[in-house]
Amino acid sequence: MGAFTTLAKKKLKALAAKKAAAAKKAAEAAAALKAVSSKVVKETKKHAKDMVTERTPGQAKVVTPVKAQRQYRKGTRVAAGVGFAAGAATGAGDDKKIKDLNKELERLRADLKKSKTETARATTQIKIEKTLAKIVLAEEKAKNNSSASKTSLRPKSRPSSAPKKSLRPKTRK
């Protein structure tokens, strides 16, 4: 009976150690997620501010660093809009899921225009970005399900530039 209890104690200790390690990993992951999400919120607030505020006279003059930052963020917003329009125009929205996501995106954009506080705009912008990511994934999945060949063609050999007959001098016998 003593050997059984010793074995049970060892198993319990091992299980407790595994739980402690899992809890530690979960805490580390939560801290990393918190750091990443705070960066996303900060960037989203910048986007929201750019969309609402007018340029200052100093920004209207071509001040390279400020213009580059504003213009880059503006370009990302425009690209997201163009990607959405292209997806809708090509008929990629035939799938019911993609259509639902596009409707959700339109609703979120309307909510973004209606939102009054900066935090509401930031959270709505995050939702828009997540929805755009879902749309892109759904379109990629739809594209991957096409009837195109899954295997690549066999590579063809290139013609050699080497002479057909060896140019080495023959050895004398």
3-state SS assignment for residue 55? coil
Please count the other Cβ atoms lying within 10 Å of the Cβ belonging to residue 169. 6
The predicted pLDDT at position 60 comes to 64
| 166 φ/ψ angles, rounded to the nearest 5 degrees | -65, 140
- Backbone φ and ψ of 57, nearest 5°: -60, -35
Q: For residue 77, what are the contacts with CB-CB under 8 A and spacing of at least 6?
A: 47, 51
Q: State pTM to two decimals.
A: 0.33
- pLDDT tens column, 124-162: 888 888 888 888 888 877 776 655 566 777 777 888 888
Closest to 73 in 3D by CA, of 99, 55, 94: 55
